[in-house]
Amino acid sequence: MFKFLFGAKADAPVVKQETQRETVERAQRELNEILATLTPKPRITVYPEEGTFTIDLPEQMPDEAKALPAPEKAAEAK
């Protein structure tokens, strides 16, 4: 009766649930895209026993070089 006021309720879109394999493959693809753009390249250490890895990033990333210094560093300089 009130469809003309409130409109027809459309069914909610179906969201495909990502499998674990798809999640890992997507994360690896995204990480590789990011790491490929970095100069210098970060050191990556793999720990096979734990199934983990670490990425040693430089102290200052290229995009951070353009940013203003962090507030705590500015306060220490005074």
- Considering only residues 49 and 1, tell me which one the structure prediction assigns the higher pLDDT: 49
| Contact criterion met (CB below 8 Å) for 53 and 46 | yes
Task: Give percent above pLDDT 90 in the chain.
Answer: 42
Instruction: Give the angle subtended at the CA of 77 by the CAs of 76 and 78, to the nearest 5°.
Output: 90
Model pLDDT, residue 64: 74
**What is residue 1's predicted lDDT score, i.e. its pLDDT?**
58
Q: Which residues pair with 55 in a beta bridge?
A: 44
Name the pLDDT band for 61 (thresholds 50, 70, 90): confident
What are the tokens at 59? 């102290």
User: Model-level pTM?
Assistant: 0.57
* 24-60 pLDDT, tens digit each: 999 999 999 999 988 888 999 999 999 999 999 888 7
